[in-house]
Structure 1
Amino acid sequence: MQVFPMTRAGLTGLAILFLVGCDDAAVGQKGFEAKYAVARTALEEGNYEAAKRHYLKLVPQAGPLAQRLQLEYAHAALRSNDFGKAAAVTSSLANTQTGEARSAALAVYGTAKHEMGMIALGQGDTASGKAHLTAAKGALAEVVKKHPDMDPIGSLTGRLASIKAQLKAL
């Protein structure tokens, strides 16, 4: 997962809110910004359960940033080993977005599905494991192909190679 592009996009979105807001909305925006900072700090410091709670409260009031905050929520879910929730949220996001936003959602989705596949295989459920790994392969392959800049150190490429090897062995 790449935190810096996520942070940059989140901060850009917040800046846009400030630029288009009116004076009456400024107080609400400052409150929103403060709440976002709490959620983001919790995520970055590894307090994933708190991050998830804060993001869930923010999404309904996020307006044009709602999808961005859902992605950050999914990132927290992924990091807290709530792979099913991370996959569900990012599957929905990926289906409604294009470009880098879609790829960011697919990166989380593919990672979550990979982990779900490994868990299923570890429990002896080969059919579910293979289905999860196949979904992960498709998602990560799209990210790596369409937005290789989202994988500067090769972690997604490495995960993808591992998934392909796992599928071949099944």
Structure 2
Amino acid sequence: MATLILGSCESGAPFGQQTFRGQYSVARDALETGNYDLAARKYAKLAEAAGPLEARIRLEYAHTQLRAENYADAAQQASQLAAEQTGTARAAALAVQATAEHELGMAARTKGDHATAKQLLESADSAMAEILKSHPDLDPMGALAARRASINTQLKTL
């Protein structure tokens, strides 16, 4: 079924002729099946017409970039979104930002760029600390806390 939907949406029909809900389903399915290029294109297009759902669509775009290992773009997009949001929406954006910065920090550390690694890891730690303090319900399985512990362990080696 997903293949049929994806195939029909890529047929060249102008975006305005397709429903927002349908395009969202295509983007979400693409994200969940690992077709990150398609997901990013669809989310970027959706954001232009999202109205009150714009923040949600932008978060999903940032998440797509994270999953595609485009960490710099994911961090930038999520950071910008976090600066504009409050509450749970801010915390969700911070989770993407922190995860991307953690990955970028580990890469910088591997390359021997300890100053950049430290800056990125400290930023990731700060974002994780905020999430865990203000929205512990967003970490029911402890994955964010575990990532934060890993970040702190890595910071001690710099």
TM-score computed with the length of structure 1 as normaliser = 0.81
Q: Deviations over 1:57-103 (max 9, x none)?
A: 11001111111100000000000000011011111111111100000
Q: Deviations over 1:28-85 (max 9, x none)?
A: 7971110010001111122112111110111001111111100000000000000011
Please name the residue that 2:60 is paired with: 72
Structure 2 counterparts to residues 1-170 of structure 1, below 5 A = 31-170=19-158
Sort the Cα spacing of 1:72 and 1:164 in 2 relative to 1 into closer, same or farther, 3 A: same
Name the count of aligned residue pairs. 143
Q: Deviations over 1:5-24 (max 9, x none)?
A: xxxxxxxxxxxxxxxxxxxx
Q: Distance in 1 between matches of 2:60 and 2:80?
A: 14
Task: Tell me which protein shows more helix as a share of its residues.
Answer: 1
| Structure 2: tracts of 5 or more residues without a match | 1-15
Question: How far is the alpha carbon of 1:145 from its aligned partner?
Answer: 1.1
- Over aligned residue pairs, what C-alpha RMSD do you find? 1.3
Question: How far is the alpha carbon of 1:154 from its aligned partner?
Answer: 0.7
Letter in 2 for 1:142: E
Q: Distance in 2 between matches of 1:32 and 1:150?
A: 28
Question: How far is the alpha carbon of 1:113 from its aligned partner?
Answer: 0.3
Q: Distance in 2 between matches of 1:122 and 1:52?
A: 28
Q: Distance in 2 between matches of 1:122 and 1:53?
A: 31
> What fraction of aligned residue pairs are identical, expressed as a percent?
54
Letter in 2 for 1:143: I
Q: Distance in 2 between matches of 1:54 and 1:150?
A: 27
Q: Distance in 1 between matches of 2:65 and 2:141?
A: 23
Question: How far is the alpha carbon of 1:116 from its aligned partner?
Answer: 0.3
Q: Deviations over 1:142-166 (max 9, x none)?
A: 1111111111111110000010111
TM-score computed with the length of structure 2 as normaliser = 0.87
Q: Deviations over 1:110-143 (max 9, x none)?
A: 0000000000001110000010000000001111
